[in-house]
């Protein structure tokens, strides 16, 4: 399991990457501001590498999304959409081909890109962890609570 989070110290901008191992302790020191943070590492995280709560803020609400920058995903949709509209008047076939390749690209992303679990409260990201069925996709209503 790999945890990536912003240093909880307000004045610090460090992004910390941390891997809780079987024998890891409960604190981790920020490499930038050297503040020691208490980590909420559970036995499930240590032993099974599965995530049952956020290790940074101990929040229990997390969501799963594709480990792919959303801005790039949005960019692809926009570019392919505009191209398809552009060709629609001159060549409908080209237009369909563009849409089909956008779909194929989307499928490729779906199959080849891993998932990242994110904490609603503190936005800590978790990779390389065992899937937890309790975590669902992003939910705006849940997100607005924070």
Part in contact with Zn ion (CB under 5 A); list of ranges 38-46, 78-86, 98-106, 123-131: 123-131
Q: Which is nearer to Zn ion, 59 or 73 (CB)?
A: 59
Contact 1, 39 (CB under 8 A): no
Does 124 bind Zn ion (CB under 5 A)? Our answer is yes
- Tell me how far, at minimum, the Cβ of 124 lies from Zn ion, in Å: 5
Q: Which is nearer to Zn ion, 49 or 58 (CB)?
A: 58
Q: Which residues contact 6 (CB under 8 A, 6 or more apart)?
A: 13, 14, 15, 16, 122, 123, 124
What SS3 state is found at 110? helix
Which parts of 9-38 interact with Zn ion (CB under 5 A)? 9, 12, 14, 30, 32-33
Radius of gyration of the chain (CA): 20
Which parts of 79-98 interact with Zn ion (CB under 5 A)? none
Q: Which of 24, 44, 57, 105 binds Zn ion (CB under 5 A)?
A: 57
- Tell me how far, at minimum, the Cβ of 38 lies from Zn ion, in Å: 13
Q: Which of 44, 97, 105, 121 binds Zn ion (CB under 5 A)?
A: 121
Could you list the beta-strand ranges (E) of 1-146: 2-6, 15-18, 27-29, 36-38, 62-66, 115-119, 125-127
Q: Which residues contact 66 (CB under 8 A, 6 or more apart)?
A: 73, 109, 110, 113, 114, 115, 116
Q: Which parts of this chain interact with Zn ion (CB under 5 A)?
A: 7, 9, 12, 14, 30, 32-33, 54, 56-57, 59, 119, 121-122, 124
């Amino acid at each position: 399991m790999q945890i990536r989070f912003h240093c909880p110290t307000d004045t610090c901008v460090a992004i910390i990457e941390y891997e809780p191992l079987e024998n890891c302790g409960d604190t981790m020191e920020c490499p930038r501001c050297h503040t020691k943070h208490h980590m909420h590492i559970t036995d499930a995280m240590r032993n099974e590498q599965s995530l049952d709560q956020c290790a940074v803020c101990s929040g229990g609400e997390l969501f799963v999304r594709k480990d792919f920058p959303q801005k790039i995903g949005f960019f692809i949709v926009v570019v392919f959409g505009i191209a398809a509209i552009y060709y629609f008047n001159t060549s409908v076939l080209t237009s369909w081909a563009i849409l089909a390749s956008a779909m194929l690209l989307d499928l490729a992303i779906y199959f080849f890109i891993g998932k990242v679990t994110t904490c609603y409260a503190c936005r800590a990201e978790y990779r390389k962890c065992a899937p937890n069925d309790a975590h669902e996709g992003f939910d705006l209503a849940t997100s607005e609570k924070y």
